[in-house]
Amino acid sequence: MARSRSSTRWLQEHFADPFVKKAQAEGMRSRAAYKLEELLAKDRLLKPGMVVVDLGAAPGGWSQVVRRELGDRGRVVALDILDMPPIAGVEFIHGDFREEGPLSQLEALLDGAEVDLVLSDMAPNMSGVDTVDQARAMYLAELARDFADRHLKVGGAFLIKLFQGEGFDAYVKDLRGRYERLVIRKPAASRRRSNEVYALATGRRRGKD
C-alpha cells in the first residue's frame, strides 16, 4: 500500500531530525531521551539512591537516561503497554496502566517503598480527532497524577507530558494545589509544531492523596 503524503512527510522529517540522528549515534532508544536530559539538567531532579517510576516507558529512552544518571545507586521501575527490550538495572512491567492488573503489579514491585520521582511520558494512540485524542491524553494524565498521589513521598517530584487543549488549564491548576512549585517546560527536543509541553511539579504537599 502506498504511503500517504502526510506519512511520507513525517518520515522525511523524522529521519532528518537532529535529535533522531543523535540518538542513533549515541545508542539511545529514542529522541525523547534528550527532552529528559534537558529537564534533569535544568531542574536537578536526580540524586543518588532515588526510587524513580517511569510510566509509558517504551522504548526506554527515559529509563536509559535515569539509570545512567543514578549509576549503581537507586532504583528505576518502568511500565508500558508496549513491550520494551531489557535495560540493565531497570525493572519493567509490561501492561496497560489503565487496567488494575499491571497497576497492582507495579504497586507490588514497589512493596511499600516511597517514590522520589514519578515520570510520565504517556500518550494515547492518536485517532486524528482532536477532541477524542485530547480527552484520552487527559485521562492518562489524571491516572498518572493519582498514582503519584498514592506513591510519591512528601517533597517528591512529578514530571508529566501534557497536551495543551481542553482540560489542560484545570489540570495544571489542580497540580499547583498538590505541590509547592510547578513549572511548564518545552524542551528543545520537542517538535515546535507539537502542542506537547512538560509540567514539572516539585515538593509534593502532605495530605494530598
- 51-88 pLDDT per residue, tens: 999 999 999 999 999 999 999 899 999 999 999 999 99
96 annotated binding-site participant: yes
What is the pairing mode between strands 51-55 and 75-80?
parallel
Q: What is the pLDDT of residue 1?
A: 43
pLDDT band at 188, cuts 50/70/90? confident
Rounded Cα gap, residues 187 and 32, in angstroms: 10
> Which of 47, 153, 161, 173 is labelled catalytic?
161
Phi, psi of 120 (to 5 degrees): -140, 110
| Cell numbers at 83, concatenated | 513491550
- The model carries a pTM of 0.87
- pLDDT average, residue stretch 3-16: 51
For residue range 131-182, what is the model confidence (pLDDT) as tens digits? 999 999 999 999 999 999 999 999 999 999 999 999 999 999 999 999 999 9
Instruction: Encode pLDDT of 38-56 as tens digits.
Output: 998 888 899 999 999 999 9
**Does the annotation mark 161 as catalytic?**
yes
Q: Is 62 annotated as a binding residue?
A: yes
Burial pattern 109-141, b for ≥16 Cβ within 10 A else e, equals ebeeeebbbbbbbbbbeeeeeeeebbebbbebb
Pairwise CA distance, residues 54 & 76, whole Å: 7
pLDDT at 126: 84
**80 annotated among ligand-binding-site residues:** yes
Residue 5 has pLDDT above 80, yes or no: no
- Residue scoring higher pLDDT (126 or 201): 201
61 HSE (CA, 13 A, CB side): 20
5-204 under CATH 3.40.50.150, yes or no = yes
* Residue 54 marked ligand-binding: no
Among the listed residues 13, 36, 33, the one whose alpha carbon sits nearest the alpha carbon of residue 22: 33
Label residue 11 by pLDDT band (50, 70, 90): very low
